[in-house]
Structure 1
Amino acid sequence: MGGWKRVAGSIALIAATTACGTDAPPDDPPSAADTVTSTTRTPRVVDESGRPAITFDPCLDLPDDVLVEAQYDPRSKRPSEYPMESYSFLGCGFTGTFHIPDVLRHYRLSVLAGNVTLEEELEKDGNISTHISVNGRDALLQLDPSNTDSCAITVRTDFGIVIFRRTYYADHVRDVPIDEWCTGLEETMAMLEPFIAQ
């Protein structure tokens, strides 16, 4: 990911209170018209750049059941956040659930949502990037031979980009062959992409 910073955050807890019973009849429950539900999330990361707010939180917006289907443990999520002056990133890391003794110890998926553009990412890492499409969304497949056992797909969004980087940790002294670093990542992306804010 070159010079781009990572980002993370906290999840708010909701407390519920219950009143003790009395002899008075309970109040009527509020009608749907009286109940106001906000669908707007306050961004956890803001900066002074004037760039768009990051509207996709990888720790909150990727459903647990979809992560399990993609062979990642939702309980392993590790949030990160980097509000900078000129750009920001909001991230989350997940550990894979698949293990092959003497071949694969574990693997990790890092997801970073940032308010930089795909063009900026291409300018920064164009030498390791190939244009692809994920579910019709403009994207870059990024394979850096110097970043051993790792592969990334960066997709365009309305607020900027989301980078999905998978890293293998071999269960032996040999590295994973470079032609396997990206194997299956596009299929994983096809499952996760629908949950990214446009």
Structure 2
Amino acid sequence: MRQVFYVVLSTAVMGSLLSACANSPTSGTEEQSSTTPAPTLAAPVSSPPVQINNGGRRTVQYDPCTSLTDSVIVEIDFDPRTRRRGDSIFDTYSFLGCTFDRKEEVRGAMRATSTLDIDSSNITLDEFRDRESGKYTEISVGGRNAIRYENTAARSCHVIIESPDGTLSIAKSVNAAFTTERACDGIDTISAKLEASLPTS
């Protein structure tokens, strides 16, 4: 479950931010686009919402819901057909998010036994450290700084990885009515697979 992240802004906030795009002169031939085509998904999703980011935070560029391939989701034992957006856009910060379920047969019916929320945000790792003070363990994921903590009341396990946007948040929750699995079971493997999909800069 995603939690609202309350951020206290500095009073020295710039009144407006201008983004200028300089047009470089073209040569006689038209430049070819180097954009990587989006992967084909079993459950296509809509485009991410417009971000606001008042106060100068960078725009979140990495969108896990369109960047993570179905094969990666299968490798971490979740169902790519359950892919759905889970964005959270606020005035001063943004989360581009995606949610997946793991489904298993329970008492003759397919049930969601666990859920995975993946969010790319412009919240820094230090801000997460402040919010979860005294609850987390410092770890490293793929050479990146990260923290891990568990919310036993919500039956969820969280890994927050430093990223070019700010952080990649991974939250796995379990449905105790349908599984005896613990929230943190497999979280290190899941985090390593998802970290490998992050851009380097």
Compute the TM-score of the two structures, normalised by the length of structure 1: 0.72
Q: 8 Å contact 1:141–1:153 — kept in the other structure?
A: yes
**How far apart, CA to CA, are the structure 2 residues paired with 1:131 and 1:153?**
10
Amino acid in the other structure paired with 1:80: G
Is 2:135 the partner of 1:128? Answer: yes
Richer in helix (by share): 1
Q: After TM superposition, list the pairs within 5 Å mapping 1:13-52 onto structure 2.
A: 34=30, 36-39=32-35, 44-46=49-51, 47-52=53-58
For structure 1, the residue ranges without an aligned partner over 5 or more in a row are 6-32
Aligned to 1:3: 4
Structure whose CA Rg is larger: 1
1:51-107 deviation line (CA, Å, top 9, x unaligned): 11111111111111111111111121110222222111111100114x2636x8511
Q: Using the alignment, how far apart are the partners of 1:77 and 1:116 within structure 2?
A: 23
SS of residue in 2 equivalent to 1:146: coil
**Residue 49 of structure 1, CA deviation:** 2.5
The equivalent residue for 1:164 is 170
- For 1:87, the equivalent position in structure 2 comes to 93
Determine what percentage of the aligned residue pairs are the same residue: 29
| Kept after mapping to 2: 8 A contact 1:128/1:142 | yes
Contact kept? 2:101, 2:112, Cα under 8 Å:
no
- CA RMSD of superposed structures (Å): 2.7
SS in 2 for 1:192: helix
* CA–CA separation in structure 2 for the residues paired with 1:79 and 1:2: 16
The whole-number CA distance in structure 1 between the counterparts of 2:50 and 2:161 is 19
Post-superposition Cα deviations, 1:15-36, rounded to whole Å, max 9, x if no partner, equal xxxxxxxxxxxxxxxxxx6462
The answer on 1:186 being equivalent to 2:188 is: yes
Q: Partner residue of 1:140?
A: 147
Q: Distance in 2 between matches of 1:115 and 1:71?
A: 28
What letter is aligned with 2:106? P
In structure 2, distance between residues paired with 1:100 and 1:43: 33
Amino acid at match of 1:188: I
TM (norm. structure 2) is: 0.71
What are the ranges of 5 or more consecutive residues in structure 2 without an aligned counterpart?
A: 7-28, 39-46
Other-structure match for 1:18:
none
Question: Contact 2:54 / 2:92 at 8 angstroms: preserved in 1?
Answer: yes
- Taking CA–CA contacts closer than 8 Å with sequence separation of 6 or more, which of the two structures ends up with the larger relative contact order? 1
Match of 1:196 in 2: 198
| Inter-partner Cα distance in structure 2 for 1:153 and 1:49 | 26
Equivalent in 29, 49, 54 of residue 60 of structure 2? 54
